[in-house]
Structure 1
């Protein structure tokens, strides 16, 4: 038997971009359609004025994972609530099985999980000011608050607080 140029169609994990707040609905729809999926849910305690309640919210807003073959892509795309696959270098991004298992273990073992981007600033990061009165100055982030970042400017011997707007790049 000759294999030739036929690409092996084996199931892999992919990230799917969903309509906002459709993650749980989409997971149910995938289940009904026979598509294996994983919608990691974060156990969070919410405080209302009169009570506290534990709720399960999607860990990744507007994302869900599917375990499908390439031949099943159209079935995934045509499911109500799906915007598209998440792409990496022009192809649907393949998520490694061990990464899915790590996420599953993490949500099973922890509550109130906070997801941060690797691009988010952290104390110790060096920042360069690209505009404004501090143009061409460099500082070090010392603290990060809800809507402020504190930067130390050694050359000027000062500590400043800057309001963060959309992203750290916009503020600095």
Structure 2
């Protein structure tokens, strides 16, 4: 008799309550669920001081690597809201896209492209940055940051120089 195939885990995008990304990611890790909360360091300025603050790259979202049949486990935590859906199914992110996102953040590949060379309205092929079949449009750019609209996902990603 042939044993049934093992269920394979996939990366999914999980919406979180506002400002709960890191907390939920840590809680899910404690539950044995692999998570990734991409973040970047920004310099925030108050009236009396400046401080480096780690902020999520995808606000109110984290990536979870979980089997299809176990997706409901994340809702045992109060900060989990719902999964991102695409064409009526939970949106899956490939492992290659997750690894490319990690390397892009760690290696600062985006900064090497030169923010000053980008212009609003310019179309970018995001496959060079590790996003498969995703095109982006530059929405805003200055010397310190760039906002890119990921058209297939309908989401804006903000990159800042640290």
Could you say which TM-score interval applies, normalised by the shorter chain?
0.5 to 0.7
TM-score (norm 1): 0.60
> 1:6-62 CA deviation, whole Å, 9 max, x = no partner?
675101111001111110110111111111100011111112222221110111111
Whose helix fraction is larger, Structure 1's or Structure 2's? 2
Cα 1:26–1:145 change in 2 (3 A) is closer
Alignment root-mean-square deviation, CA: 2.9
- Corresponding residue for 2:159? none
Preserved CA contact (<8 Å) 1:43 1:111:
no
- Deviation of 1:69 after TM superposition, in Å, equals 0.6
Q: Which has the larger radius of gyration?
A: 1
- Deviation of 1:93 after TM superposition, in Å, equals 0.8
- Corresponding residue for 1:137? none
Aligned counterpart for 1:86 among listed residues 80, 84, 87 = 84
Partner SS for 2:44:
strand
Structure 1 unmatched runs, 5+ = 114-120, 126-142, 147-172
**1:85-124 maps to which residues of 2 (within 5 A)?**
85-110=83-108, 122-123=120-121
Aligned counterpart for 2:23 among listed residues 13, 19, 25 = 25
Number of aligned residues? 120
Preserved CA contact (<8 Å) 1:14 1:93:
yes
Preserved CA contact (<8 Å) 2:9 2:67:
yes
